[in-house]
Structure 1
Amino acid sequence: MASVSSNEHTKEKYSFVYGDEAVSYHVIRKAFPGGKARKIAIRVHPDGEIIVTAPDDAGYSDIHEAVMKRAKWILDAIVEFRSHQKYVQTRHYVSGEMQFYLGRRYVLKVIEEKGAAASVKMNRGKLLVSLPRFDSKKTSLVKGLVNDWYKYRAECIFQERLQYLLPQATWVKGIPGFRILPMQKQWGSCSARGALMLNPHLIKAPKECIDYVILHELCHIAEHNHSERFWRLLTQVMPHWKEVKSRLDSMAELYLNE
C-alpha cells in the first residue's frame, strides 16, 4: 500500500467482466520523465477500489489488455480483502474493544473519574483511557485521546526506525524530513523533493512492517516510480519484503479501522 506521490489527473472509470462478476476500475494518467520506465501499474486497495496508473498517452485497448492479463489476480485480491472485512466492526471506543500497537492486541479500558486528568497509557495488555467527566461526548473524547496517543507514538517510533534504517539507504543524502498524515488508502508516500509522509495507523503494525514502508519510501527518493530498478533496490535492502507486505496488507482493514 505504500506508494509514491504523483500529479494525478481526473480518474477515468472503466469495467470488465471476469466469470460472473463485473468489476469497475479507475485509470489515472501519469506523465513519465524521459528515460523512465513507462508501465501500466495496477493496485487493489483494501476497500476493493482498483486503481490503474498508466502513461498519459496510453490507449484504452492497451490499458484494458493489461487489466485482463491480471484479471484473476485482481479478483483474488478483492475476494481476500472481502474476507478480511467480515471481521471489521465499527469502533465505539468503549471498554472491551480491541486496539493494536506494534502488532500486538490491547484491550481498551475507559475509566471515568471526576477531576481526573485526561490521559492514555498502556498497562498489562490494556490501553487505559482516563476521562475527567461523565457526559454524552464520551465517544468522541476517547477517540480523540486514542488518536492523539497513536500520533505521538508514531512520531517517536517512526523517527527511531528512520534513523536505524538510513545507513542501509546509502543513496539518501542527509536525513529526509517526514510528517504524520492520516490516509485512507496509503501507508506512506514520498514527494518529488524526498520528503516522507507516513500514516499514523502504521504504528499499529509490527516494527518489521513499519520498516518495510519506510524503506519503500526511501527507495522512491532514488526511483520515483515502481520500475524494475526500484524493486531491485527494495529487494537489496529488504530481501523478504513481499512476505512483510503481505502480512501488512492482510491486517490493513483492522489497522485502518476507526
Structure 2
Amino acid sequence: MTSVNSKEGSKEEYSFVYGDEAVPYEVVRKPHLEAKKRKITIKVHPNCEVVVTSPEDAERENIHQAVMKRAKWIYEALKEFRGHLEYVQPKQYVSGEMQFYLGRRYVLKIVEDKEALPSVKMTRGKLLVTLTRFNDNKTAMVRALVRNWYKIQAERIFHERLSELLPQATWVDGIPSFRVLPMSKQWGSCSAKGNLMLNPHLIKAPKECIDYVILHELCHIAEHNHSERFWRLLTSVMPHWKEVKSKLDGMAELYLNE
C-alpha cells in the first residue's frame, strides 16, 4: 500500500493505493479548539465518497498515516457500498417499483380513476397512487405525489418519536423545534441553537433507525461535536447505536434513491 497525493487550489484531494486500486479521498480541514482533543476522522459515504476531516493545522503526513491505518476498513466499506449501488437504479415511478416505509418494502401501483382526486395511500402491501387521468406529465405527477406523501408521514412520525424520546434526553430543556428537509449526505443535523433538521427519506427506515438519528441530534444539543463525551452520552441513551447505525448505513443508498 502506498499513497498518491495531489492538490488543486484550496481543495485537497489525495488517494492511496490498496492492492491494485487507487482510492481517492478528500480532506476537509476544520478549526481546532484548544480545549478539544485533536482528531482525524474518516467517513465513507454510501455514494462511495471518502472524506477525511482533520484539524486545520494537521500535517499532511499525519493525515496520510491515519488514512493508511484504516486503509483496509475504507476498502471494505467501499466494496460493500458498491455492491449496493449495483442494484440501485434511478426511480422511474412506474407500477411495480419498490418503495420503502418504516423499514418495510411496498410495491408502487399507479391507477387512473376519472372520478377520483389525485392521492396516495397504503393498502395490502402496496403504495397506491391514484391519478385522475394519465398524460405526458404522469411521471412528474406521481413523483410529486409520492414525495409529498413521504414528507407528510415524516413530519407526523418524527414528531411522535421525538415526543417519545425526549424524556430520555434529560439535558434538553423544553421541546426542540425541527424541520423536515431533504439532504443528500445527512440524516439529520442540529443547529447551534438546538433546532433539529431531519431528512424525510429517513421515514423509509425502521423506527429504531429514526430513533437513533433523533437521539444523535439531541446529543448534539449537549455536545456540539463528536467528542468522546458525545459518544458516551449517545451510548447512555442507546447502548446498541452502532448496530442500528450499521443497519441504516447499509440501506442508505436504497432509501435515498429517487
Alpha-carbon deviation of 1:116? 2.1
Deviations 1:44-74 (A, max 9, x none): 0001001111111111111111111111110
Distance 1:37 1:177, change over 3 A: farther
Report Cα offsets for 1:13-34 as digits up to 9, x if no partner.
1111111110111111111334
Q: TM-score, normalised by structure 2?
A: 0.94
Is the 8 Å Cα contact of residues 88 and 254 (structure 1) preserved in structure 2? yes
1:179 deviates by 0.6
Once the two structures are TM-superposed, the CA of residue 88 in structure 1 deviates from its matched residue by 1.1
Q: Which residue of 2 aligns with 1:164?
A: 164
Alpha-carbon distance in structure 2 between the residues aligned to 1:168 and 1:35: 28
The match for 1:53 is 53
Cα distance in 2 between the residues matched to 1:15 and 1:113 = 55
Q: Is the 8 A contact 1:44 1:74 kept in 2?
A: yes
| Alpha-carbon distance between aligned partners in 2 of 1:246 and 1:22, rounded to the nearest angstrom | 25
The reply on whether 1:91 has 2:91 as its aligned counterpart is yes
CA contact (8 A) 1:115 1:133 kept: no
Residue 239 of structure 2 aligns with which residue? Answer: 239
Cα distance in 2, alignment partners of residues 180 and 11 from structure 1: 31
Alignment of 1:38-77 (within 5 A): 38-77=38-77
Distance in 1 (alpha carbons) for counterparts of 2:32 and 2:145:
43
TM-score if structure 1 supplies the norm length? 0.94
Q: How does 1:215-230 map to 2 (within 5 A)?
A: 215-230=215-230
State how far apart, in whole Å, the 2-side matches of 1:108 and 1:11 are: 42
1:250 equivalent in structure 2: 250
Q: Which residue of 1 aligns with 2:4?
A: none
Structure 1 gaps of 5+ residues are 1-9
| Residues 110 and 129, structure 1, Cα contact 8 Å, conserved in 2 | yes
Which consecutive residues of structure 2, in runs of 5 or more, have no partner in the other structure? 1-9
1:127 is the counterpart of 2:158: no
Partner AA of 1:137 in structure 2: N
Note the C-alpha offset of 1:114: 2.1
Q: Which residue pairs with 1:151 in the alignment?
A: 151
SS of the equivalent of 1:16 reads strand
* d(CA) in 2 for partners of 1:180, 1:32: 31
* Paired residue secondary structure (1:251): helix
Give the residue type in structure 2 aligned to 1:186: Q
The answer to which structure, 1 or 2, has the higher relative contact order (CA under 8 A, 6+ apart) is 1
RMSD of Structure 2 on Structure 1 (CA): 1.1
Asked if the contact 1:108/1:128 (under 8 Å) is kept, the reply is: yes
Deviations 1:80-132 (A, max 9, x none): 00111122122111111110000011111101122420111111111111111
1:11 Cα deviation after fit: 4.0
Q: Give CA deviations for 1:124-183 in whole Å, capped at 9, x if unaligned.
A: 111111111221110110001000000010000001101111111111111111111111
CA distance in 1, matches of 2:170, 2:181: 26
Alpha-carbon separation, structure 2, partners of 1:146 and 1:66: 43
Q: Trace 1:13-32 onto structure 2 (pairs within 5 A).
A: 13-32=13-32
